[in-house]
Amino acid sequence: MGVIKHDNLALAASGLNEVGATELVLFTSSRCQNIPARIDKLQTAAQQSCKQCGRSIPLKVRGVLTFQQLLAQIPKHTVFADEKESQTTLGDNIVSNNLPATRQPQSNFEPGSKNNLIIGPEGGFTDAERTALCQVAKPVSLGPRILRAETAAIVGASILSVQPEQSNPKQTSNRGAQ
């Protein structure tokens, strides 16, 4: 997730923890606010939200990576939220075993794997950043509305968190969002 104001990052860390994300990796890019991210405070926000959601192990907060470091470390099964994407939504990108083979979406995810979602900063990615991301990750839409970065992170992680039950009831997975 791109660095944004600390209070908004704390809200994102808390919400991501509550929906089951395993890791929050922060990065800087052209449109990120030049504010130092206080990883220890964000980790505390995640730990405090464990009480609310009944989770025993909070998500891990790490970073801050440069955009180039992020690109070099993007693992398989990564998508990025792109407000300019109109063809593929994050929900479409998940394999659904309930659909006939002829209607299966092209998925970037694999059941049982750790899946990764990149959320940009307020204002989104520049065209150059978007082009670079498209080389290593798949762009997806989170829906018709432009969301604040912290809201987009929580919405995206929520979509990922409900998918295992819908796609394969026998499969359990610990899905993460970045």
Walking along the chain (178 residues) 10 residues at a time, the average pLDDT comes out as: 94 94 94 88 92 89 94 90 88 51 44 78 94 94 92 92 50 41
Contact 21, 50 (CB under 8 A): no
Whether residue 64 is preceded by a cis peptide bond, meaning omega within 30 degrees of 0, is: yes
Residue pair 80/118 in contact (Cβ under 8 Å)? The answer is: yes
Delimit the domains of the chain by residue range.
6-166
Q: What is the pLDDT of residue 94?
A: 56
The CATH class of the 6-166 domain is alpha beta
Tokens representing 109?
């995810």
Neighbours of 167 (CB within 10 A): 18
